[in-house]
Every structure is written in structure tokens, then in C-alpha cells.
Amino acid sequence: MLTSSIVFTLILIIALGTFAYNLYRIIANIRIGRDLDRSDRKPDRWKNMIRVALGQSKMVRRPIAGILHIIIYVGFIIVNIEMIEIIVDGVFGSHRFLSSILPIKLYNFLIASFEILAFLVLVACILFLVRRNVIRIKRFFGKEMTNWPKTDANLILIFEILLMSAFLTMNAADSILQGLSTHYTHVGSFPVSQFILPIIDTLSYNNLVFLERFCWWFHIIGILVFLNYILISKHLHIFFAFPSTYFANLNPLGGLSNLDSVTKEVKLMMDPNADPYAQASDSTNISPQSFGAKDVADLNWVQLLNAYSCTECGRCTSNCPANQTGKLLSPRKILMDTRDRITEFSYKKRNKLEDNKTLLGDYITSEEIWACTSCNACTDSCPIELDPLSIIIDLRRYLVMEESAAPTELNMMFTNIENNGAPWQFSPADRLNWKDE
């Protein structure tokens, strides 16, 4: 018993340690982003997080995926109560620790509900695999869904199926052993795993003990591996959906941010009494920020948090008018590229490697961002309120204000507004002519 307790405790510490370290790195990467104040309206932010992330309010807009997702989500949270027991048992060598402190009826109820949920999760994961790989639902494909994103999605589902199977098989072996040895406390109610009994009840006592222990270790080590895998996977949304909805844009979707750096410059330009030298001496120790974004460090931290939170479901892209009419733009790709680039950017920065790539150009092309109609179909359809549109606008801002690289027709539109106060070439003096026409 002692050896296994030590081994378990070591594995637990290593797994949680690497998880904490890598999570810390991701948070450090997010902090590379520019400041953005989202500390206002705290009660509204809590409400939004509870409604959208905890309450899954936007998932059910697509009912089949939504309901299957809620099953997995509820199953994940409830079955993880069992983790308390597994960890205590592992560290102290006890068996079914919770049964010794909880009323037996409650314990049996808990085990039974874990089993039912585990089974439902199993079924939902199989259906999700079928939707992806057999029915081949269109939004799971597309040019940004290369090998890794597809494998990632399947791996997560297979992981969960294996974990749930191990959990149920462990219970089945345990329920037989309860009648054979006093070490196995006679507790639990097994509405699902009883159906596994016919397959394993011919096994010898030793083989049953081995099967129970094997499943127990497989399940807990599997969960710890999965925990660490999440950090390199799209599955990170199970944690980051919460901060992403908490820090989401709560204003009407149509309003874009006003750039403060531009406000300063425009006020200075429009103020006849402004002393240009005063401004310069004020800001000599602050390096000037570029207007808009060329690379991930020019984005704000919420945009980077969004990139890490995206689970690549593709609802944004399947509603994007540009994408649906064959243009290069895919809002999902904008978020995926941003995550890939921040990973690369921070890695190269940490290791002091040469980095001659940028988000704009090497990952996202100008053709993609000029296809956007800013219609907000992407932001509205995202189940966790991510905002790829704000990234598109920031990239456009860089192209226009830093590189003067807008399409020719748009440059003409700008000139018209500057000269005539209208996007077309009409004289401002004719603005009221319609009245008498």
C-alpha cells in the first residue's frame, strides 16, 4: 500500500506541477497583449459568465450539438466529484473513502449518478465522433482545419471515451470483488456497469483485482495526462470560456472601440492653441505604439485570451457571409492563427531566437481581412462570445494607418470624406439638394 501511495502522490505532484507551470506560461503569453480595461460593470460580467459559460445559453442555438455538449459538460463536472475520492484513496491507500464519511444512501446515489452520466458522456462522445468522421458536417472542415486540428478534436473524444470506459469497468470489477473480499467495502449502486458483469464475471479473483486496479490507475493517470494535454489543445475552452465570457464586450456588438492614441493625435491636430513641443516632451520616455495591429503583441490581452479559448467549432465561419460565398476569410482561422502566432512569438522570444514573422502577412493575409463586412455574424454566433471581428479591424487599422495599404477604392473613399465629407465625390454644398429635387 505504501509504495503505491508514494507513486501516486509523486505522479499527482508532477502532473499538477507541469499543469501549473504551463498554465502560468499561457497566462504570461496573454499578458504580452496591450492593456484593455475590462474591470467595469462587475455584476453584469458575473451575470454574463453565469448565463453564457456556466448556463451554456448560446450552445443550444444548434440544438443537437447543444444538447450533446451539455451532457458532456454536466457529466464532466459531476463525474469530477469522484476525483476527490480517487485522490484521497490514492494518497492514503483507502478504498472508496467517500463511503466512510457520507450516508450510505447518498453515496450510492452519487455512484449511480456518476455511472449514468459517464454512460451518457460515452454515448455523446461517440455521436460527436460520428458527426465529425462519418456524417462529416461541413463546418468541421475548411482550409484551416488541417491535420492537427482534426486530430486534436478526435483525440479529445477518444480520450473521454477511454476514461469513461475505464471508470465503468472499474466499478464492474469492484462490484464483484465486494462479494469476495472484505477489503472492498460493500457500497455503491451500479446501474450501468452491472451490464459489464457478464463479460468479466468468469475472471479469477486475482484477475479481477488486477482489472480493478488497472482501470483505477488508467483512469486517474488518464485524467492527469488529459489535464496537461488540454493546455496544448483547443480543449482549453473548458477553463477559458469562463474568463472569456467574463471579460467579453458587453456593449452592443455594432460599436467598435475608439483608439485613444488616435484621439490624442486628432485633438492635437484640431486644437489651434496646442503646443506641439509640450506633447513631445510629455511622452519622450514612452515608446510610441503603432496604430492597429501587425503582430500579436499589438493586440490586447482579451483578444489573446480569446485566441486561447477558441474550440474551433466553426459556428462563426459557417455564418460568415464572406466565407459562405467562397472568400478567403474564415473568422475561426483568425483566432487559430492568432493562437499559433502567440505560441511561436513567445517561444522565440523566451529562447532569444530570430523571429522575422508577423501575424499580418505570414499568418493572416490582407485578402482575408478585406473580405469582412463587419456584419457581426461571427461574434453573435460564438457560444462563448469571442470576438474575431475586433482582430480583423485592428489588422485593417495597421494596414491603413501605418502602411497606407488600403485597396485603391477605399483610398478614394477616404479622400472623398476628407475633401467633401461624403464617401462619394459630391460637393458638400449640395448636401441639401434632395429637398427641392
Partner 1 sequence: MDELTVKTMAQLRAEGKEPDFLFWVGSAGSFDDRAKRITKAFVRIMNKAGVDFGVLGTEESSSGDAAKRAGNEFLFQMQAFTNIEIMNGYNIKNIVTTCPHAYNTLKNEYKGLGGNYTVVHHTEFILKLISDGRLIIKGDLRGKKITYHDPCYLGRANNIYNQPREVIKSLGVDIVEMKRSKRKSFCCGAGGAQMFKEPENGTQDININRTEEALGLQPDIIATGCPFCNTMMTDGVKSVKEGAAEVLDIAELIADNI
**Which of residues 165 and 374 has its CB atom nearest to partner 1 in the complex?**
374
Find the binder of partner 1 among 17, 191, 361, 407 (CB under 8 A).
Answer: 407
Find the binder of partner 1 among 106, 232, 324, 347 (CB under 8 A).
Answer: 324
Neighbours of 316 (CB within 10 A): 28
**Which of residues 174 and 394 has its CB atom nearest to partner 1 in the complex?**
394
Per DSSP, 435 falls in state G
Q: Does residue number 262 form part of the binding site for partner 1 (CB under 8 A)?
A: yes
**Which residues inside 304-323 make contact with partner 1, applying CB under 8 A?**
319, 321-322
**For residue 287, what are the CA distances in angstroms to 36, 282, 323?**
18, 12, 38
Q: Does residue number 401 form part of the binding site for partner 1 (CB under 8 A)?
A: yes
> What are φ and ψ of residue 34, in 5° steps?
-70, 160
**Which residues inside 238-257 make contact with partner 1, applying CB under 8 A?**
251-256
CB of residue 383 vs partner 1: minimum separation in angstroms?
Answer: 13
Q: Where are the alpha helices (DSSP H) in 52-185?
A: 63-79, 81-92, 98-101, 104-133, 147-177
Q: Please work out, in degrees rounded to the nearest 5, the angle formed at the alpha carbon of residue 294 by the alpha carbons of 351 and 368.
A: 120
Q: Does residue number 338 form part of the binding site for partner 1 (CB under 8 A)?
A: no
Find the binder of partner 1 among 36, 217, 259, 348 (CB under 8 A).
Answer: 259
Q: Does residue number 65 form part of the binding site for partner 1 (CB under 8 A)?
A: no
User: What residue has cell string 462529416?
Assistant: 136
> What are φ and ψ of residue 58, in 5° steps?
-90, -10
Find the binder of partner 1 among 49, 153, 329, 342 (CB under 8 A).
Answer: 329
Q: What is the phi-psi region of residue 71: left when phi exceeds 0, alpha when psi lies from -120 to 50, beta otherwise? A: alpha
Pick the stretch among 3-11, 16-24, 28-36, 369-377 that binds partner 1 (CB under 8 A): 369-377
- CA dist 160 and 164 (Å) reads 6
Residue 136: which of 114, 154, 148 has the closest Cα?
154
Rg (CA), the chain: 28
Q: Does residue number 361 form part of the binding site for partner 1 (CB under 8 A)?
A: no
**Which of residues 87 and 256 has its CB atom nearest to partner 1 in the complex?**
256
The 3-state secondary structure of 394-406, one letter per residue? HHHHHHHHHCCCC
**Which of residues 263 and 283 has its CB atom nearest to partner 1 in the complex?**
263
**Which residues inside 288-307 make contact with partner 1, applying CB under 8 A?**
291-292
CB of residue 357 vs partner 1: minimum separation in angstroms?
Answer: 22
Pick the stretch among 14-22, 67-75, 126-134, 405-413 that binds partner 1 (CB under 8 A): 405-413
Q: Does residue number 78 form part of the binding site for partner 1 (CB under 8 A)?
A: no
**Which residues inside 194-213 make contact with partner 1, applying CB under 8 A?**
none
Cβ-defined contacts of 131-140 (< 8 Å, 24+): 131/65, 132/157, 138/318, 139/313, 139/314, 139/315, 139/317, 139/318, 140/314
> What are φ and ψ of residue 55, in 5° steps?
-90, -5
CB of residue 406 vs partner 1: minimum separation in angstroms?
Answer: 6
Q: Which residues of the shown chain bind partner 1 in the complex (CB under 8 A)? A: 251-256, 258-259, 262-263, 265-267, 269-270, 291-292, 319, 321-322, 324-329, 367, 370-377, 380, 393, 395-401, 406-407, 409-410, 412-414, 417-418, 421-424, 426, 428-435, 437
